[in-house]
Amino acid sequence: MSEVIALGQPTVGEAELAAIAEVFASGWLAGSGPTCRRFEERFAATVGTRHALATSNCGSALHLALLTLGVKPGDEVIVGDYTFPATGHSVMWTGAKPVFADVRPDTWTVDPAAVEAAVTPRTVGIIAVDAFGQPADYDELRAIADKHGLFLVEDAACSAGATYKGRPAGSLADVATFSFHGRKGITAGEGGAYVTDRDDLAAHARKLHTYGVEGALTRAELSHLPIPTFTELGYNYRLSDISAAIMLAQLDRLPDLLAAKRRTAARYGELLKDHELITTPYEAPDREHPWQSYVVTLDPSVDRGAVALELRQRGVQCTFGTYASHVQPLYGQTTPCPVSADLFARHLAIPMHANLTDDQVETVAAALVDVVNTAATSR
C-alpha cells in the first residue's frame, strides 16, 4: 500500500504560519484579544449576522446558545436526531431534556412534521442540525417555532459556506453555532463560533464565555481601572488569538475550498451514480451544500463493516456517517426515529477535502465499487 487517501485533511500552509507569526509578534496570544475581534467581525460579515463570538468549540457555542435563550432544568428542547451527540449533550448541560425528532430520508435534516409532533407544554425550543453542512428546512421550522412560541437554533457545525434559498448558513435562526474542528471546511484544529442578530443575546453570550465578566480587551480600552464583579456563573469558552489568526487565513481560503469540494462531490456523483447498491447524497435544489463530508448510503444487503475494513486495507480511509442520537443509552429516549436509525446503519463517509486530486477521487470511487460488489456477492 503506497498511499493512504485521507478521509479529511485541512488545507493550511504559509498563510496560516504568517498569521500566527503576526500574533506572536503582537504579544497577545490569549483568548478574546484583538485578533479574535478581527475574526469575529469578518465571520459575522461572512455569515450575514450582526454579531459573532469566537468560542473554544461548537459544543461550547451550543451551550451558550441555550443559556442565553433561557433554557433551564425541566425544559424540553427538540433536536434533530441524526447528529454528533454534542447537540444533545448541550441540552443536558443546562439540565433540560433533549427530545429527538426523526429526519428526512433525502437531506437527512430534521423533518418538520416530526418536530411538530414532538412539541409538548414543556418544549421551549428547536435545534435543527445542518446534516454534513446541508441546511435544514428553516422556513418550515421557523413557522413551527413562531406558532408555538419557541426559539430556533441552527447547529451549523459543518455549514460554513452553505446557503438556504440564497441566505447563508448562520443567518437562518435566532442563534447559530459553528465548528472549526480539524475535519470541518475551515479549521483551526479546534474552535467554534456563536452568531446572532440579537444584541441582547450577543452581549450575554460574551459575558458568559469569559467567566461572567467583561473580557480583558474591553477592560483595557477603558479610561479607568475596572475591577470586575462576578454576578453570574460563567465559563472559559474563549478562542485563543492564535487560533483566530488561523481562522482569518482560512476565511480567505473559503471560496476556493468550497469550489474544490463541490468539484469533488460532482465527480463522485458521476462515478457512482449508476451503482444499484450505492446511493449518492442528495443536494436540495434550493440549497448550496458545502460538502463537509461525502456520505453514501449502502444497500441493506451490503456488510458495511466489511466494506470499511477492506477500503482501509486498500489505503482508503472511511467511517460511518454520524449518530442516531435516540439510540444512545445516555439519553434514555424510547420514541423511535426509524429514518435516522436506518441512516446510522447504512451510511459510509468516504474521503472528502479540498486537497483531493482527480486521480485520488477516481481511485476512491473505483475501490468503493469493487469492494461493494465483492461484499454483495459474498453474502
DSSP assignment letter at 238 = B
Degrees to nearest 5, angle at CA 177 with 353 and 323: 65
Cβ burial of 325 (10 Å; 0-12, 13-18, 19+) is buried
**Alpha carbon distance 165, 138 (integer Å):** 10
The b/e string for 131-151 (b: 16+ C-beta within 10 A; e otherwise) is bbbbbbbbebbbebbeebebb
99, 79 contact by CB (below 8 A): yes
Tally Cβ neighbours within 10 Å of residue 13. 10
195, 49 contact by CB (below 8 A): yes
Cell of 289: 451544500
Cβ burial of 273 (10 Å; 0-12, 13-18, 19+) is exposed
Give the DSSP per-residue string, 2-37.
---B-S------HHHHHHHHHHHHHT--SBSSHHHH
Question: Among residues 184, 207, 261, 273, which one is catalytic?
Answer: 184
Closest by Cα among 259, 65, 256 to 157? 65
Q: Is 97 a catalytic residue?
A: no
Residues 6+ apart with CB under 8 A from 29: 23, 240, 241, 242
Annotated catalytic sites, by residue?
Answer: 184
